């Protein structure tokens, strides 16, 4: 049984800052359309539905991108190789989000983490299991993707990340 069903909706709590930075300027904006090309994501999204993770690799610098990138920012070429990656990862860094429960008004602290998947050279933002406390979150914490039971072939197919056993901690003991 998924924990997701028990989760309540939480709102971001905006703090009132005494002073903010201002930048005087005139902005001349005209209407424009922005098209985001996601054709390079298709093989990746298809695999998500099968509960598999793939990343793409740049043949110029050998960096592995997860999620896949349209273009390598260093080499300015399209990454052209698909590689299977595991669903294990670690926390690169994290920030504390203060979220307000829309029903009770209670403010909860939740870690927002940058996830670095094993075998890749990039990180992406994700959520941890809702029961994981901010105080128990640390940089380098090993985690594993938790898949939704019903997947749609989208980025939300990974519901959150679960904490897994830390081998480094055993070595310290
Ligand atoms: Zn490259």
Q: What separation in Å is there between the alpha carbon of 123 and the centre of ligand 1? A: 16
- Residue boundaries of the structural domains of the chain: 36-172
Compute the average pLDDT of residues 164-171: 74
Q: What separation in Å is there between the alpha carbon of 43 and the centre of ligand 1? A: 20
CB 68 within 8 Å of CB 80: no
Q: Which helix (H) or strand (E) holds 143?
A: strand 142-147
Q: What separation in Å is there between the alpha carbon of 160 and the centre of ligand 1? A: 29
Nearest one of 93, 90, 95 to 120, comparing CA atoms: 90
pLDDT tens-place string over residues 4-49: 455 567 777 777 666 767 777 777 777 777 777 788 889 999 999 9
Q: What separation in Å is there between the alpha carbon of 69 and the centre of ligand 1? A: 10
- Give the pTM: 0.74
Distances (CA, A) of 113 to 103, 106, 131: 25, 22, 14
Looking at residue 26, what is its pLDDT? 78
Looking at residue 32, what is its pLDDT? 75
pLDDT tens-place string over residues 113-166: 999 999 999 999 999 998 999 899 999 999 999 999 999 998 899 999 999 988
Q: What separation in Å is there between the alpha carbon of 145 and the centre of ligand 1? A: 26
Helix (H), strand (E) counts: the chain: 2, 9
pLDDT band for position 2 (50/70/90)?
very low
Total number of residues shown for the chain? 173
CB 85 within 8 Å of CB 109: no
Q: What separation in Å is there between the alpha carbon of 57 and the centre of ligand 1? A: 8
Chain mean position to CA 139: 15
* Cα separation, 142 vs 171, whole angstroms: 14
Q: What separation in Å is there between the alpha carbon of 32 and the centre of ligand 1? A: 30
Q: What separation in Å is there between the alpha carbon of 60 and the centre of ligand 1? A: 5
Distances (CA, A) of 34 to 29, 31, 37: 14, 10, 10
Q: What separation in Å is there between the alpha carbon of 82 and the centre of ligand 1? A: 14
């Amino acid at each position: 049984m998924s924990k997701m069903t028990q989760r309540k909706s939480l709102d971001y709590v905006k703090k009132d800052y005494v002073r903010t930075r201002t930048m005087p300027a005139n902005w001349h904006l005209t209407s424009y359309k922005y098209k985001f090309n996601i054709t390079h994501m298709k093989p990746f999204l298809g695999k998500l539905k099968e509960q598999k993770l793939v990343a793409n690799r740049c043949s110029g610098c050998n960096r592995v991108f997860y999620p896949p990138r349209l273009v390598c920012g260093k080499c300015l070429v399209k990454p052209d190789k698909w590689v299977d990656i595991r669903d294990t990862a670690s926390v690169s860094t994290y920030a504390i989000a203060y979220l307000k429960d829309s029903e009770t008004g209670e403010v909860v602290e939740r870690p927002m983490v940058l996830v670095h998947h094993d075998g890749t050279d990039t990180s992406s933002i994700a959520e941890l299991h809702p029961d994981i406390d901010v105080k128990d979150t640390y940089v380098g914490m090993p985690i594993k993707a938790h898949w939704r039971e019903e997947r749609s072939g989208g980025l939300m197919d990974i519901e959150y990340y679960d904490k897994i056993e830390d081998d480094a901690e055993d070595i310290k003991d």
